Each structure stands twice: as C-alpha cells, then as structure tokens.
C-alpha cells in the first residue's frame, strides 16, 4: 500500500484539456482569418464564428473547472524545481482567468453595440443591459485582442515547458496529460 500514487490527470480532465487546446487554437485562427478577409462583410461573417466558439469555450472551461473540484489534479512532479511549480500554477491560473474573462468581455463589448451573440444560429445570448457606447465596445475589444496575444505567448511557453520536461529532462510530464506513456509523480 502506498499513498498519493496518482501521477495522471483523470480521463475526463485529459479530454477537456485537449478539447480546450484545440478549440483555443481554432479560435485564434478564426480571428486571424477575419482580419485578413477581403471585405468588411466577409470579416464580420467569419467573426460570427469566433463569437459563437467563444461561448462554447467558456462552457467547456467551466465544465473543466467543475470537474477539477470533483477530481483534483495529481500532486506536482517531485523533480520539478519549486520555482517551476509556482510558475506552472500561475500560468494555469492565468489560462483559466483569461478563458473565462475573454468571452465575457466579448459579450459585454458586443452588448455595448446593442448586438446579441448568436451561437451558430442555434440560439443567441441577448445583449446585456449595458449603456450603448461603441467607443467603450471598441476599447474592450482592443483589450481583448491584447489579452489574446498574451494568451498565445503563455500557450507557447506552456507547450515548450511540457516538451522540454518530457524530452530533455525525461521526467514524464507530458504523459500526465495523456492516457499512455510513463507518467511520474
Ligand atoms: C491552447 C492550448 C492549451 C491550454 C489553454 C492549456 C491549458 C492547461 C491548463 C489550464 C493546465 C492545468 C490543468 C489543471 O490542473 O487543471 C494544463 C496542464 C497541462 N498541459 Fe496544457 N494547455 C494547452 C496546450 C498544451 C499543449 C500543446 C501541451 C503539450 C505540448 C500541454 C501539456 C500539458 C501538460 C503535460 C499538463 C499537465 C502539467 C502538470 O502535470 O502539472 N498543454 N494545460
Ligand atoms: C475564450 C474565448 C476567446 C478567445 C480565446 C479569444 C481569442 C481571441 C484572439 C487570440 C484574438 C486575436 C488577437 C490578435 O491576434 O490580435 C481575438 C480577437 C477578437 N475577439 Fe476573441 N476570443 C474569445 C472570445 C470572444 C468572444 C466571445 C467575442 C465576442 C463576443 C470575441 C470578439 C473578438 C473580437 C471583436 C476580436 C478582434 C479584436 C481586435 O483586435 O480589435 N472573442 N480573440
């Protein structure tokens, strides 16, 4: 018998992690595609998908956080330095904060133009009762865009750290988030 031998995230946590990762990358590519669209109308049509996917990401992240309460993460890898653990915790926290705040900020910004958020034409989140103020909406979108860039930088750092630990330090970090390979505590 031994205690605390858990070295992997649960299957559902893995599924949600990789779903969020794919959705966030797609979300970013949609925003870029909208920026490069030939006309304003084409850009707006592409951006409608970004708004809708933002709502989906919010829901998936909320599910992930609920599941995290039921099935908490395994204890950190023992060979990770204290500063690495602290840094990883800060980055993970920043992911959750950004992934919840960014879509809500987007909803508030669209609301200040009086626009609802249509979710792929299936249903719509009504405009929130905020003052009609396109300047404020623009300012929020500006901040949202800057947060998006910060998010991408953190994702690059996070992925590089996971790969460095796994393939250079050979400490099995990546396998904690995968259903195969040798994960370690
Ligand atoms: C959009 C991209 C991504 C986001 C937003 C993201 C977010 C997160 C978050 C929030 C956690 C903490 C999980 C928790 O404790 O609840 C986590 C853990 C983890 N992620 Fe990602 N991730 C992304 C992409 C990746 C990629 C590309 C890799 C691999 C190359 C990766 C590897 C891992 C690993 C190995 C862990 C577990 C770390 C540990 O054991 O402490 N992630 N990720
Ligand atoms: C978690 C969900 C979301 C993520 C991860 C996300 C991410 C991003 C990213 C990466 C960019 C591009 C930044 C750049 O390269 O300049 C962006 C731009 C944008 N997003 Fe989102 N977004 C999300 C949700 C939303 C929602 C729900 C809305 C609106 C309801 C929205 C509206 C916009 C707009 C209007 C822009 C263009 C901003 C500008 O640069 O002026 N986003 N988003």
Instruction: Judge whether residue 20 has pLDDT over 60.
Output: yes
- Does residue 163's CB lie within 6 angstroms of at least one atom of ligand 1? yes
Work out the pLDDT band at 43, boundaries 50, 70, 90. Answer: very high
CB atoms within 10 A of CB 117: 20
Instruction: Judge whether residue 48 has pLDDT over 90.
Output: yes
Instruction: Judge whether residue 4 has pLDDT over 90.
Output: no
Cα–Cα distance, 180 to 8 (Å, whole number)? 10
Cα–Cα distance, 72 to 10 (Å, whole number)? 9
Distance 105 CA to ligand 2 centre (A): 9
What does the mean pLDDT of the chain come to? 95
Query: What does residue 128 show for φ and ψ, rounded to 5 degrees?
Result: -75, 155
pLDDT reported for residue 156: 98
Q: How many CA atoms lie within 13 A of 12 on its CB side?
A: 12
pLDDT reported for residue 40: 97
pLDDT in tens, 73-92: 999 999 999 999 999 999 99
- Does residue 27's CB lie within 6 angstroms of at least one atom of ligand 2? yes
Instruction: Judge whether residue 3 has pLDDT over 60.
Output: no
pLDDT reported for residue 148: 98
Work out the pLDDT band at 58, boundaries 50, 70, 90. Answer: very high
Residues in a beta bridge with 117? 125
**Residue whose CA is closest, atom 25 of ligand 1?**
159
- Does residue 183's CB lie within 6 angstroms of at least one atom of ligand 1? no
Query: What does residue 183 show for φ and ψ, rounded to 5 degrees?
Result: -85, 150
Nearest residue to 52 (alpha-carbon basis) of 113, 112, 103, 114: 103
CB 17 within 8 A of CB 11: no
Average pLDDT over every residue of 155-163: 98
Instruction: Judge whether residue 185 has pLDDT over 90.
Output: no
- Does residue 181's CB lie within 6 angstroms of at least one atom of ligand 2? no
Instruction: Judge whether residue 1 has pLDDT over 50.
Output: no
- Does residue 183's CB lie within 6 angstroms of at least one atom of ligand 2? no
Share of the chain above pLDDT 90, in %: 95
Distance 143 CA to ligand 1 centre (A): 24
Residues in a beta bridge with 119? 123
CB burial of residue 27 (10 Å; 0-12, 13-18, 19+): buried
Q: At what angle do helices 82-111 and 134-167 cross, to 10 degrees?
A: 150
Which ligand 1 atom minimizes the distance to the CA of 165? 35
- Does residue 117's CB lie within 6 angstroms of at least one atom of ligand 2? yes
Nearest residue to 173 (alpha-carbon basis) of 90, 77, 78: 77
């Amino acid at each position: 018998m031994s205690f605390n031998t858990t070295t992997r995230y649960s299957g559902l946590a893995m599924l949600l992690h990789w779903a969020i990762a794919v959705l966030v990358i797609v979300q970013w590519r949609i925003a870029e595609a909208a920026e490069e669209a030939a006309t304003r109308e084409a850009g707006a049509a592409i951006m409608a998908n970004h708004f809708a996917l933002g709502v989906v990401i919010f829901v998936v992240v909320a599910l992930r956080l609920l599941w995290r309460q039921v099935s908490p993460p395994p204890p950190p890898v023992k060979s990770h330095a204290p500063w690495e653990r602290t840094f990883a915790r800060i980055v993970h926290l920043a992911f959750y904060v950004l992934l919840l705040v960014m879509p809500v900020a987007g909803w508030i910004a669209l609301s200040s133009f009086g626009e609802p958020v249509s979710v792929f034409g299936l249903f719509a989140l009504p405009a929130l009762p905020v003052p009609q103020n396109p300047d404020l909406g623009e300012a929020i979108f500006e901040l949202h865009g800057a947060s998006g860039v910060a998010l991408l930088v953190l994702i690059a750092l996070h992925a590089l750290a996971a790969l460095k630990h796994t393939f250079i330090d050979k400490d099995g970090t990546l396998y904690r988030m995968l259903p195969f390979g040798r994960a370690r505590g």
